[in-house]
Amino acid sequence: MIWWHIQAVLGYLYPIPIILLMLQFVGKGWRSSLLWALWAVTLVTAVRIILDLFLQNPDSFSRASPWGVSLWTLLIITVVLANLFRPGQRGTLELTVLRAGTLVLLLVILAFQPAWYKFITPKFNPLPYGHFLFVCCMGFLAAKSYLTSERKLATIEHELATARRIQSAILPQEVPLVPGLNIAIRYVPMASVGGDFYDFLTLDQTHLGILVADVSGHGVPAALIASMIKAAYTTQTIHAADPARVLADLNQALCRNPEGQFITAACLYIDIELNRMVYAGAGHPPLYIWRRSEDKFIEFANNGLILGPFPEATYENGEMALKPGDRFILYTDGITEAMNLSGDLFGENRMKEFIRAHGDLPVGTFADAFLENLFGWSGKRSAEALDDDLTLLVVDIASQGAT
């Protein structure tokens, strides 16, 4: 009895994968008729299964009303065939194979309905052969789809490799050597290519411009926007001493961004000769300064609007005198918004505590220790497990660089 119930349920279910295949190849159909057919078949299947269980009789509805089952089957077949052979569809090989396999199967199913048994008793059951032909057609489509997907995947991998090379080329290959400054940078992209960007404008031996930016999103689109930032920032040498002006000019360039993505940015100018720094931000996390000589933590949050959406946005500079031992930390929000396995954010407080506790470490050691602490806290040791791209830039004012 159990086997007959199983056989009946399989019979109820067979239209569902057929309709799902139609949805994949021809869409929702005319006036979403395939989608409606899918919902109807699912509902009727559920009712028939419940009825069989209640009556303890497999295929009870067919036994009670063979004409009703045949008319229901005819309706579903009509909807499927009408959409499968609808005029105006592009005659691809896949569609031709699907039409052939489905047509044979549905005609065989239609020919062997319970209602016809009153008039003729079939001596030969072609249903297994119809199913076999349909399965062969589906196997062909699956194999062809797999090979097509593999070719597309290979193309995407090639394009990603090219994008990685391009991104590696636009990021500085080494930090600038400026007497009086010690600089370390750590960049960890979430995807194969990331949306974080950083760059330097080395004006001379005593003046340095720094930019850290974070493009919304990840992957190739974000990397392309980063390349636009690179091109725009390299033209800002003349305005490097005015970070607010630099951000305003970058904003004008990025407002033509066709992808509609927005960018946060932090722009820093360090003047070793006059012992001062100038900072401006665009929707970016604040600049942190650890003043070792006073055991003091300073937070610079001179922030204007994000870059990209607002052509008329303006920005303001904040200025501060430098002291020997000052440590500047620029970063992207992938650090403070990193989450651990419990869903807790790393947050600004944990970051500040680490900066205070490890302020005496050299910049490179500090940057490595910070990332090790972050990954250890989050429980995510690989870049693929990150929630966002990470960029950490640390600048120390050496004793000989400030008087």
If asked whether residues 115 and 212 sit together in one domain, one would say no
Strand ranges in 16-106 using DSSP code E only, listed in sequence order: none
Residue 166 domain flag: no
If asked whether residues 231 and 373 sit together in one domain, one would say yes
Q: Decide which of 72 and 3 is more confident.
A: 72
Q: Decide which of 36 and 277 is more confident.
A: 277
Tally the C-alpha atoms within 13 A of residue 67's C-alpha that lie toward its C-beta.
2
Cβ atoms 316, 304 nearer than 8 A: yes
If asked whether residues 121 and 208 sit together in one domain, one would say no
Distance of CA 131 to the CA centre of its chain: 40
If asked whether residues 230 and 354 sit together in one domain, one would say yes
Amino acid letter, 38: L
Beta-strand pair 318-321/303-304: unpaired
- Residue 18, burial from CB neighbour count under 10 angstroms (0-12, 13-18, 19+): buried
Give the pair of three-digit tokens for residue 4: 């007959």
Distance of CA 244 to the CA centre of its chain: 32
Q: Rounded distance, CA 206 to CA 193, Å?
A: 33
pLDDT tens-digit series, residues 326-343: 999 999 998 999 888 888
Domain extent at residue 206: 175-401
Residue 162 domain flag: no
Cβ atoms 189, 383 nearer than 8 A: yes
**DSSP secondary structure code for residue 283 in this structure:** S
DSSP codes, 330-348: EE-HHHHT-B-TTS-B-HH
If asked whether residues 81 and 200 sit together in one domain, one would say no
Give 288's contacts (C-beta < 8 A, 6+ positions apart): 297, 298, 299, 300, 328, 329, 331, 351, 352, 355
If asked whether residues 90 and 180 sit together in one domain, one would say no
If asked whether residues 193 and 229 sit together in one domain, one would say yes
Q: Rounded distance, CA 279 to CA 326, Å?
A: 15
Question: Mean pLDDT across the stretch 116-128?
Answer: 63
Q: Rounded distance, CA 20 to CA 369, Å?
A: 53
Q: Rounded distance, CA 319 to CA 158, Å?
A: 46
If asked whether residues 145 and 181 sit together in one domain, one would say no
Q: Decide which of 212 and 260 is more confident.
A: 212
**DSSP secondary structure code for residue 307 in this structure:** B
Q: Report the mean per-residue pLDDT for the chain.
A: 83
Helix or strand (DSSP H, E) at 35: helix 33-55
Q: Rounded distance, CA 335 to CA 347, Å?
A: 8
pLDDT tens-digit series, residues 195-233: 788 999 999 999 999 999 998 876 677 778 888 898 899
* CA pseudo-torsion sign 43, 47, 50, 56: negative
If asked whether residues 318 and 391 sit together in one domain, one would say yes
Buried-exposed string 261-294: b where 16+ CB fall within 10 A, e elsewhere: bbbbbbbbbbbbeebebbbbbbbbbbbbbbbeee
If asked whether residues 117 and 189 sit together in one domain, one would say no
If asked whether residues 82 and 208 sit together in one domain, one would say no
Residue 238 domain flag: yes
**Rounded to two decimals, what is the model's pTM?**
0.65
**Residue 371: is its pLDDT beyond 50?**
yes
Question: Mean pLDDT across the stretch 349-357?
Answer: 93
Strand ranges in 273-389 using DSSP code E only, listed in sequence order: 276-282, 287-291, 296-300, 303-304, 318-321, 326-331
pLDDT band at 37 (very low <50, low <70, confident <90, very high): confident
pLDDT band at 82 (very low <50, low <70, confident <90, very high): confident
3-class SS of residue 210? strand
Phi (first) and psi of residue 273, to 5 degrees: -65, -40
pLDDT tens-digit series, residues 268-302: 999 999 999 999 999 999 999 999 889 899 998 88
Residue 160 domain flag: no
Give the pair of three-digit tokens for residue 304: 């204007």
Helices 66-84 and 93-111 sit at what angle, rounded to 10 degrees?
Answer: 170
CATH number of the domain at 343, please. Answer: 3.60.40.10
If asked whether residues 253 and 148 sit together in one domain, one would say no
